Structure 1
Amino acid sequence: MGKYEKDTAELLEAVGGKKNISAVTHCATRMRFVLIDPKAANESRIEDIPSVKGMFTNAGQFQVIIGNDVAVFYNEFVAISGIEGVSKEAAKAAAKQNQNPVQRAITVLAEIFTPILPAIIVGGLILGFRNILEAVPMGWLNGQTIVEASTFWSGVNGFLWLPGEAIFHFLPVGITWSIARKMGATEILGIVLGITLVSPQLLNAYVVNSTTAAEIAKNWTWDFGLFTVDKIGYQAQVIPAMLAGFLFVYLERFFRKHIPEAVSMIFVPFFSLIPTILAAHIILGPIGWKIGTIISAVVNAGLTSSFSWLFGGILGALTSPLVITGLHHTTLAIDSQLIADFGSTNLWPILCLSNIAQGASVLAIVFAHRGNKKEEQVSIPSTISAWLGVTEPAMFGINLKYTYPFIAAMIGSGIAGLFVTLFKVRALSIGVGGLPGILSIRPQDYLIFIIGMIIAIVVPFVLTLLFRRIGLFNKIDRVEEEIVPTLGNDSTKKAGSIVELFSPITGVLHPLSSAKDPVFAEGMMGQGVVIEPSEGKVVAPFDGQISLLFPTNHAIGLISGEGTEVLIHIGIDTVQLDGKHFTSYVKQGDSIKKGQLLMEFDIEAIKAAGYEVQTPIIVTNSTDFQVDPLIEAASPVAIDEKILMATPL
């Protein structure tokens, strides 16, 4: 009888049986299913399986978190089900077939904007800070702005325009690069294409409306004899850049198929890029600009009409469900277009308030379940994350689990959205969500937006506690039932000695919440830290044993003599490298001594292959141990430094 025979049989039935499984694979911690009918999976039954630590659905895959022993679990699952496993890439391909055309389009849009989000967020912060410097009269400066009163800050304000302009005016460059990257085209040509849309040789998009047709015809045209083409730039324009990017990708694919490989290096770039640039300025740019203008005009009209309060309230309430479906990624394009057309956006303030409302509901759960240490490992970081603009941990980790806090957040967000829309609050930039979102708001709207933020905190917090008490929208978390034990406060804890974990890697230590894989960042696998390696060596953090060595060598499980279980996961999604760039010097079951070399990995080669090398170091049985960091975040660490202390509970 296998170790997980009962659990694997239970999971097979709970996901709908063999007939409901299109594909199955696994990574270092998760079983990854592509289900024919995802609704047939009995999630409550899956949650009750002892080996299961959680589950979520992402990009068409139903993922069940198992932990360090996932390889053993997977093998037993394959044996008992009779299903032949597939590669991770094959599972991804199968998952796409599980999505309808709208879902696929949303997935593509998300994958285009995700790589450029860091730049958009930084740009939003910069523009928000510049708003304070140059547009807010200060009473303590006799009504002058900081820029007017200080030469130094005037210089800072002028300097910050450099990155601000680079991010937002040249946004088409980022979009065309991201499309080329996402769809496997030549990335440098995607960058060149974007530059041709914002070149200084073109009339800047921001001054097109103030330039007469006669002046454009005289000074801003290419004359081809038979026809002329306007030299119009597309600074900050999203849809023209997207249309041009997609055309370039498909032209390159076509010519790669039909041009002999011996001359493809010369002719494929030429025949892909030049027609795309021409089409972008003759057809795609004008059409895309018109489409974007229509969309932004409709949204702006809805948010400035006599029924704007209703529009804002509905949009505020529905923002969180949009995040679940992925449709919220479309709002980035709309916001960018609104700013390009009107100089500000009335959509972004509503989205900021939705982030705050979701965080407030989680905070209410923290208050209601105070003392539940296990849940607090997820709920407290989720509250902070939501208030800094990232709501997925809050929604998927807490609010959707109980349902009633999610609905409370929707109501609070709707009321706050209605309020700020009624008072015509607008943002001058985008990218900064949650509480820092006030930096993007027009200075004259600060007070109203602060009131909106208070509404987005107080209403969801109060409603969450009220719904819990009266049982509204609440089936599993009744006040009269003791919820804490059901959430994992196990009365039987492992006895043992305090364990000190030394850093297994040389690099820079960061909090676990900064991990780029949500399973680690949200604490689903346990508590720990993340290290950004500066040297490609992994050594033993204590005396113990190798409990798991993944076949691809990218992850290793250890257990100390005191029973502390630790997972060292080198990089994010590096399982896809199939062992390349990793060398192991131990095997599963080996005894180890602190400081012993366990494996080596090639940092530069992994990065060149397009993968992150940040390494989560997790105590996976955190329910048995109190895990406390010993090093401050963003600190350099060496392999002889203590980074964690695990105290038995």
Structure 2
Amino acid sequence: MSKYTEPAKELLEHVGGSDNISVVTHCATRMRFVLKDPKKADVKKVEEIGLVKGTFTQAGQFQVIIGNEVSTFYNEFTKIAGVGDTSKDEAKEAAKTNMNFLQRMISHLADIFTPLIPALVVGGLILGFRNVIGEIRLMNDGTQTLVEVSQFWAGAHAFLWLIGEAIFHFLPVGITWAISRKMGTTQILGIVLGITLVSPQLLNAYGVAGSDTIPVWDFGFAQVEMIGYQAQVIPAILAGFVLAYLELGLRRIIPNVISMIFVPFFALIPAVLIAHVVLGPIGWTIGSWISNIVYAGLTSAFGWLFAAVFGFAYAPLVITGLHHMTNAIDLQLMSEFNGTNLWPMIALSNIAQGSAVVAMIILNRKDEKEQQVSVPAAISCYLGVTEPAMFGINLKYVFPFFAAMIGSSIAAVISVGSGVMANSIGVGGLPGILSIQAQFWGIFTISMLVAIIVPIVLTMVFAKTKMGINAYKRLGKI
């Protein structure tokens, strides 16, 4: 019998037994359950298990924080429970049975953009570095850039654009691939569709406004403009889903013996035609409306109000999963305005949540069990992963979560009021400054300090108020 046997038996009992488990998997620190009847889980008793450091429910999954021992504990638990191993993707699909329509839609959006985030982060860092060496006059008493005085840096500046262009200009390829991957259709067809949206044969999307004539495909009875959709998000999403649903529909009606030939043919050609004739122009228009409205809101006389509301409300959006929508808006802003003023506020919100946890680490420094949750949670939050901090600590007490929301709101007002722009989506915590356009590093540093100091101070103040005292009483701390 291992040290995990008894805790595993207790956890199995308190989640409703094996019959109540649809799917179970784990990540770096948490067990992830999809329960047939979530109401059968006794959350209070689960949290009383010695090995458990907290629980929360998100995206249809009941998640139990175990810590770094989770993989060993998981093996013991599955052996006792008699439940089979499964992948995270299968767990996500099973979890959708516990979601409403809006939650499922947001989950689908997250599934599209999550695989793209590593590339987008790298791209943001590359654009930031190119901005430093190519735009900021650091040499010869502030009169020249590094690129202007050094052939090496000039070559590096040009070379790095090879990667930056591949990530951002050819983003539709990644989006259509991600959709085909998510929908379980032929991924190479998704890639081909994406390439047709950014082909060199087409007039580059960035050159449309300044072009006197737009080339066309002339079919005799109709002409179709040969416009590319470089960096465009919504046209790629619409086209990707059309291709996926065409393929899925054709699979159902075309016999298997000839499906390899006819399904790709009759799915890809209509999808490409529809993308360029209908969906591309519509998607471009919708994307431009969204980005223009958001940008206008953030740069108007009431931009500070928009920033205050967004900074305050972003953390609650994370709880609901609605925050995944901001990825599409960020990318659209980047394509329209060569940067995004929305993403810096997201990085500041993450920092604020981590800072509230730091305050709780100080306040509860004698609680060794909680330190095992709060210290790793604060670190991960400062590196851009907020869920352990929010669900493991801040939401449990409530007042630190509220303190972080206030700090995030104030920092967002400073950021937006100063016109801070990010090159791209980046690491959503302290390293996020590397994705900020270099001319805004100074003011963004001030915003980050506000996102650190204000939540720490407010959390400590709130802990002494009725709100804090009631939270400690509710949790049996006093």
| Aligned with residue 245 of structure 1, among 240, 246, 250 | 240
Name which of structure 1's ranges 435-444 and 95-104 shifts more when overlaid on structure 2.
435-444
Cα distance change, pair 6–119 in 1 and its aligned pair in 2 (3 A): closer
* Mapping for residues 412-431 of structure 1, pairs under 5 Å: 412-431=407-426
Q: 1:360 Cα deviation (Å)?
A: 1.3
Corresponding residue number in structure 2 for 1:70: 77
- In the alignment, structure 1 segments of 5+ residues that lack a partner are 76-84, 484-649
Identity rate of aligned residues, in percent? 55
Matched, 1:299 2:302: no
In structure 2, do the counterparts of structure 1 residues 307 and 41 end up closer, same or farther at CA, with 3 Å as the change threshold? Answer: farther
Distance of aligned partners of 1:65 and 1:438 in 2 relative to their CA distance in 1, 3 Å threshold: closer
Q: Deviations over 1:466-515 (max 9, x none)?
A: 1123243554447xx867xxxxxxxxxxxxxxxxxxxxxxxxxxxxxxxx
- CA separation of 1:177 and 1:48: change in aligned 2, threshold 3 A: same
AA aligned opposite 1:353: L
Which one scores higher on RCO, CA 8 angstroms, separation ≥ 6? 2
Q: Given the superposition, is the C-alpha separation of residues 141 and 354 from structure 1 closer, same or farther in structure 2, using an over 3 Å criterion? A: same
For residues 411 and 25 of structure 2, the distance between their equivalents in structure 1, rounded to whole angstroms, comes to 41
Return the alpha-carbon distance in structure 1 between the equivalents of residues 8 and 136 of structure 2: 66
Partner of 1:157: 157
Alignment-derived partner of residue 176 in structure 2: 176
Query: For residues 562-590 of structure 1, what are the alpha-carbon distances to aligned partners after superposition, in whole Å with 9 as ceiling and x for unaligned?
Result: xxxxxxxxxxxxxxxxxxxxxxxxxxxxx
Structure 2 distance, partners of 1:56, 1:172, is 35
Partner of 1:209: 209
Distance 1:177 1:398 in 2: 37
Give 1:352's aligned amino acid: A
More moved, 280-289 vs 143-152 = 143-152
Aligned runs of 1:266-345 on 2, under 5 Å? 266-345=261-340
Structure 2 residue runs without a partner (length 5+): 67-72
Q: Letter of the aligned partner of 1:11 in structure 2?
A: H
State the alpha-carbon separation in 2 of the partners of residues 140 and 433 from structure 1.
Answer: 35
The structural deviation recorded for 1:92 is: 5.7
2:49 and 2:406 map into 1 onto residues whose CA distance is 34
Q: How many Å separate the matches in 2 of 1:248 and 1:101?
A: 22
RMSD: 3.0
Distance 2:79 2:32 in 1: 11
C-alpha distance in 2 between matches for 1:357 and 1:145: 35
* Shift in CA distance, 73/22, structure 1 to aligned 2, threshold 3 Å: closer
Match of 1:32 in 2: 33
8 Å contact from structure 1 (residues 8, 73) kept in 2: no
1:463-474 alignment to 2 at 5 Å?
463-473=458-468
CA separation of 1:94/1:385 partners in 2, compared to 1, >3 Å: closer, same or farther? closer
Larger gyration radius, structure 1 or structure 2: 1
Aligned 8 A contact 1:32 1:61 in 2 = yes
Q: What is the Cα deviation at residue 273 of structure 1? A: 0.4
Letter in 1 for 2:125: L
What letter corresponds to residue 379 of structure 1 in structure 2? S
Aligned to 2:62, what secondary structure does the other structure show? Answer: strand
Question: Which is worse superposed, 247-256 or 372-381?
Answer: 372-381
Change (3 A) 1:141 1:449: same
Aligned residue type for 1:70 = F
Whether the 8 Å CA contact 2:53–2:369 is kept in 1: the answer is no
* Letter matched to residue 74 of structure 1: A
- Opposite residue 307 of structure 2, the aligned amino acid is G
Q: CA 1:57 to 1:274, structure 2 compared with 1: closer, same or farther past 3 Å? A: same
Which position in structure 1 is the counterpart of 2:167? Answer: 167
Contact 1:124–1:432 (CA under 8 A) maintained in structure 2: no
Deviation at 1:211, TM superposition (A): 1.7
- Which residues of 2 match residues 294-443 of structure 1 at below 5 A? 294-370=289-365, 372-443=367-438
Q: CA deviation at 1:94?
A: 5.1
Q: In structure 2, what is the Cα distance between the partners aligned to 1:64 and 1:356? A: 24
Return the alpha-carbon distance in structure 1 between the equivalents of residues 390 and 91 of structure 2.
Answer: 26
C-alpha contact 2:351 2:452 (8 A) present in aligned 1: yes
Q: Are the structure 2 counterparts of residues 454 and 30 from structure 1 closer, same or farther at C-alpha, using a change threshold of 3 Å?
A: closer
Contact 1:31 1:70 in 2 (8 A): no
Q: Does 1:57 align with 2:52?
A: no
Cα pair distance change 1:9/1:210, threshold 3 Å: closer
Amino acid at match of 1:210: G
In structure 2, C-alpha distance between the alignment counterparts of 1:10 and 1:257, rounded to whole Å: 43
CA contact under 8 A between 2:8 and 2:76: conserved in structure 1? no
Letter in 2 for 1:280: A
State the TM-score, normalizing by the size of structure 1.
Answer: 0.66
Q: 1:336 Cα deviation (Å)?
A: 1.0
1:449 Cα shift? 1.5
Inter-partner Cα distance in structure 2 for 1:137 and 1:4: 61
Partner secondary structure for residue 366 of structure 1 = helix
Matched, 1:107 2:102: no
**More divergent stretch after superposition (169-178 vs 203-212):** 203-212
Quote the Cα distance in structure 2 between the aligned partners of 1:412 and 1:380: 20
Deviations 1:192-212 (A, max 9, x none): 111101111111111212223
Q: C-alpha distance in 2, partners of 1:44/1:104?
A: 28
164-173 vs 147-156, greater mean Cα deviation: 147-156
> SS in structure 2 opposite 1:344?
coil
* Structure-2 separation of matches of 1:35 and 1:474: 36
Q: Which amino acid aligns with 2:14?
A: L
The answer on whether the counterparts of 2:120 and 2:424 sit within 8 Å (CA) in structure 1 is no
Matches within 5 A, 1:190-269: 190-212=190-212, 215-216=213-214, 220-269=215-264
Partner Cα separation in structure 2 for residue 411 and residue 438 of structure 1: 21
Which residue of structure 2 lines up, in the alignment, with residue 148 of structure 1?
148
Shift in Å at residue 424 of structure 1? 2.2
- Which residue pairs with 2:449 in the alignment? 454
Distance 2:429 2:461 in 1: 24
Contact 1:387 1:434 in 2 (8 A): yes
State the SS of the aligned residue for 1:272: helix
Cα separation, partners in 2 of 1:35 and 1:464, compared to 1, 3 Å? farther
Once residues 48 and 482 of structure 1 are traced to their aligned partners in structure 2, the CA distance between those partners, rounded to angstroms, is 13
- What does residue 487 of structure 1 align with? none
Shift of 1:392: 2.2
Q: How many equivalent pairs are there?
A: 462
Structure 1 residues 33 and 348 mapped into 2: Cα distance closer, same or farther (>3 Å)?
A: closer
Are residues 262 and 432 of structure 1, via their aligned partners in 2, closer, same or farther at CA, if it must alter by over 3 Å? Answer: same
Give yes or no for contact 2:330–2:340 (8 Å, CA) kept in 1: yes
TM-score norm. by structure 2 comes to: 0.88
Q: Residues 222 and 472 of structure 1: is their aligned pair in 2 closer, same or farther, counting only changes over 3 Å?
A: same
Secondary structure at 1:466 match in 2: helix
Q: If each structure's strand is expressed as a fraction of its own residues, which one has the higher value?
A: 1
